[in-house]
Structure 1
Amino acid sequence: MATVKVSTMISHFSSVKMLVFALMLSFILAVVVHLSIRDFKAVSSSARTWTPGYGPDLPKVPHLPKTGILGKSTQLGLKLPHGRQQRLPGCIIVGFANGGATALRELLSVHPGLAATRNEVKFFTENYQKGQSWYRQQMPLSFPSQITVEGTQTYIRSPEALTRIFRFNANIKLIAVVQDPVNRLLSAYIKEMSVLEPRDQLTFKEWCGFIYNAPKVLRYINYEAPIQEVYRHFPAKNLLVLSKEDVELRPFQTLKAVEKFLGLQPGLSPDEFVENTDRGGTCFNKNGLRYPLIREMMTAQKVLDLDTGCLVYDGNMPYVPGVRADPDFFQKVVGVAQKTNVRLFQLIGKTFDWTTNFKLAQAKRKT
């Protein structure tokens, strides 16, 4: 009889224990569901009321899909976290076109702390409707310790793209590459004229529309306005501005600047580079341990000169067909470029050595 009573008590105790466990589990699930719904509503509300800018009171929506619904875009990659997988970028090269962004992207790809895309993805301009799952699929495989870098040169010219980047990740790091503005303008002119028959080619003055400060001219030489637009979306500490000349002539120093900007450990030793007195800069050491890998990762002859180990450098253009037909007009264009450069240097807090073309213009004026 006593044995039956003990069994009954044990059975009753087990039932109570199971009931308590079920109640606790239900409570925990209810809390989780409540918090999930609350966070989802908060993020969706932030997305609807978001305005450009930065500061402590503005919403942070680092990985918000276009639909405003948190889903596949926030998931980790398909591979195990400890292995290589496709990750969304932590750094984006946003511009400028024909300014050295391609060379920079390939230069960064050789750094062991970075994984850079091979081509422009154009997600925030032309492919935004495809969603972040598609965007992730365009990224290179990377380890957790690496930062993925994407580069599309036209982002900086699109306020809408900058807005989308902010909504994607308000704390993302951005890099812009600028070139001597006179070189950039002349390069655009030569590129357009090179595809035309001689009888159809315009003089430089005609191509500019006979106005030395026309919108077409300013689009190529004025970096200040687009960078100001970046600062309207992001704090200054989120943007690194490099020069095309430094990327091509001083790759080691460029990598050091990017390492500091992104908080990376040194990736390449000074032994991987050599001074080149003919170029007035540094080149990859062809006898360096990593050079065979570097050579495979960079585009031969377009970005990397296989004969010298140097990055391809466009240099300055002392003679351009059509420019010498009206040196006074060219001098006025140079004067506008000088003024916009002063404002640019004040804006970003540093200067670049863009004096060669200005000196050439002065010399032409004297002759």
Structure 2
Amino acid sequence: MLFYGFRIKFRRYMCIMALVSCLFMIFARLQAKKGAPLIFHASTEKRASKLRIREKKYLDYLDSLERLNQSKSKRYPDVINIGTEKCGTGFLRHILKQHPQFIFPPVKEPNFFSYFWNMGLKEYTRRMPKSSEHEVVMEKSPSYLSFPSTPERMKSVLPNVKLIVILCDPVNRTKSDYVQEMLRDGYQKSTNFDSFIPKMIKSLSGIKSHQDDDAKVINDIRPYTYHLVGSHILPEALYYYHLIRWFKFYDRSRFFIIDGTDLITNPGEVIEELQDFLGIPKLLISEDFEKDDRGFYCLRPVSAIDEMGKRRIVQDQLSCLPSSKGRTRLGRWDYQPSTNTIKMLQEFFHPFNEKLYTLLGRRFKWQ
């Protein structure tokens, strides 16, 4: 009788385990269908632990605000995203705006140290937001990276600012910038990418033949980056020469350099590392990111609510970039470049990319 009772309990246990296993497989298939990694018990517990740690940091941060001076005034930024154009600077700003400690100017791109320097520092201060001393003021102006006079100007005003640089695949950046210029009527509609690129590469042949003479190349690309001649589209992605100009004025320890591919494919890890670099509470974590129907990562931010006198953290609605973003990645560009043109671009940028890798001591996930 005792043995019979044991068999009944054992069968019930096996049925329950089979049901749990079945539910887990359904969940796993749904996750795989969404393109998400399969989550097993160990990773689920790790995720839960990470969320608990973030919740404590978030609540500790909110508690600390009550002890800090909340008076606000306009001041210079603590950190600046200096580029690169068409490499995700807007996406980074969109994400960091969800961090309660960040505050941005009302103008998305002040461009003071490039285009509006002659208006004076009072104008720069006017463009800044009002902030309290514990907030991180950040501005982003992609024109800064390649603009010849910017490093020296900025150093004279902001010697201790921290700098963020996003470097993306030069070939993809070139396509994206070309499409943007077409939409702005920067180029005639009759122009096509396959005819435009060979002409641009030919006009820059002298730069490629003197690629090891840094001073000469920097001088030769100056008219392009000042928008005085030709097109800036290809010179904009000669990252090596732009960075060595910046490194003359700022120590490398002040730079946080992002591989644009990582920002697209693994934004959570990039954002976590950036918060560590800036020395601020890690309130945005990898677990906050989800893909939307377009395949782009969005952020599901969190906020605090009061329930019966006790604060707790809740997730907000998914925050995604507008549909106007990602035109070339989503195939919304009617014209598809030929294989020969893409190969031509890859061959043009290859030696400059190699110089960049040597300079930084790291390689990027580019074509």
TM-score by length of 2: 0.61
Q: Which residue is 2:361 aligned to?
A: 349
Q: How many Å separate the matches in 2 of 1:287 and 1:260?
A: 19
Q: Which of 339, 354, 358 is 2:351 aligned to? A: 339
**Contact conserved, 1:103 with 1:248, CA < 8 A, in 2?**
no
Q: Secondary structure at the match of 2:133?
A: coil
Identity %, equivalent residues: 20
Q: Which of 123, 137, 151 is 2:112 aligned to? A: 123
Q: Which of 214, 223, 229 is 2:239 aligned to? A: 223
Q: Which residue is 1:239 aligned to?
A: 255
Q: How many Å separate the matches in 1 of 2:263 and 2:139?
A: 17
**Contact conserved, 2:272 with 2:286, CA < 8 A, in 1?**
no
Give the counterpart letter for 2:168 in structure 1: Q
Tell me whether 1:285 sits opposite 2:300 in the alignment. yes
| Equivalent runs, 1:80-229 vs 2, <5 Å | 82-118=70-106, 119-193=108-182, 195=185, 200-209=190-199, 211=201, 214=205, 218-229=234-245
Q: Per the alignment, do residues 319 and 270 of structure 1 end up closer, same or farther by CA in structure 2, a change over 3 Å counting?
A: closer
Q: Per the alignment, do residues 336 and 201 of structure 1 end up closer, same or farther by CA in structure 2, a change over 3 Å counting?
A: closer
Tell me how far 1:302 sits from its aligned partner: 4.3
What per-residue deviation string (whole Å, max 9, x for no partner) do you get for residues 150-195 of structure 1?
1111112223221111011212111111221101112233344564
Q: Per the alignment, do residues 161 and 287 of structure 1 end up closer, same or farther by CA in structure 2, a change over 3 Å counting?
A: closer
Tell me how far 1:315 sits from its aligned partner: 2.9
Q: Per the alignment, do residues 341 and 145 of structure 1 end up closer, same or farther by CA in structure 2, a change over 3 Å counting?
A: same
What per-residue deviation string (whole Å, max 9, x for no partner) do you get for residues 311-366 of structure 1?
x5853879984732xx44542321222322222122223332113xxxxxxxxxxx
| Equivalent runs, 1:252-331 vs 2, <5 Å | 252-274=268-290, 279=295, 283-285=298-300, 289-292=314-317, 295=319, 300-302=322-324, 314-315=328-329, 321=335, 323-324=337-338, 327-331=339-343
Tell me how far 1:269 sits from its aligned partner: 4.2
Q: Return 245-254 or 228-237, whichever deviates more.
A: 245-254
Q: Per the alignment, do residues 117 and 105 of structure 1 end up closer, same or farther by CA in structure 2, a change over 3 Å counting?
A: farther
Q: Per the alignment, do residues 251 and 313 of structure 1 end up closer, same or farther by CA in structure 2, a change over 3 Å counting?
A: farther
Q: Per the alignment, do residues 135 and 354 of structure 1 end up closer, same or farther by CA in structure 2, a change over 3 Å counting?
A: same
Q: Secondary structure at the match of 1:174?
A: strand
Q: Per the alignment, do residues 181 and 143 of structure 1 end up closer, same or farther by CA in structure 2, a change over 3 Å counting?
A: same
Q: Secondary structure at the match of 2:86?
A: coil
Q: How many Å separate the matches in 2 of 1:94 and 1:210?
A: 25
Q: Secondary structure at the match of 2:138?
A: strand
Q: How many Å separate the matches in 1 of 2:162 and 2:170?
A: 24
* Structure number, greater radius of gyration: 1
What per-residue deviation string (whole Å, max 9, x for no partner) do you get for residues 70-115 of structure 1?
xxxxxxxxxx953233221011111122222122122222222221
Q: How many Å separate the matches in 2 of 1:315 and 1:181?
A: 14
Give the counterpart letter for 1:185 in structure 2: T
Q: Which of 240, 243, 265 is 1:249 aligned to? A: 265
Q: Per the alignment, do residues 333 and 300 of structure 1 end up closer, same or farther by CA in structure 2, a change over 3 Å counting?
A: closer
Q: How many Å separate the matches in 2 of 1:187 and 1:145?
A: 37
Q: Per the alignment, do residues 254 and 269 of structure 1 end up closer, same or farther by CA in structure 2, a change over 3 Å counting?
A: closer
**Contact conserved, 2:95 with 2:299, CA < 8 A, in 1?**
no
Q: How many Å separate the matches in 2 of 1:205 and 1:231?
A: 36
What per-residue deviation string (whole Å, max 9, x for no partner) do you get for residues 218-277 of structure 1?
414321110111111111111111133333333322211211221112122454334789
TM-score by length of 1: 0.61
**Count of aligned positions:** 261
**Contact conserved, 1:249 with 1:313, CA < 8 A, in 2?**
no
What per-residue deviation string (whole Å, max 9, x for no partner) do you get for residues 123-146 of structure 1?
112222333333222222323112
Which stretches in structure 1 are left out of the alignment for 5+ residues?
1-79, 304-311, 356-367
Q: Secondary structure at the match of 2:149?
A: helix
Q: How many Å separate the matches in 2 of 1:150 and 1:115?
A: 9
**Contact conserved, 1:183 with 1:317, CA < 8 A, in 2?**
no
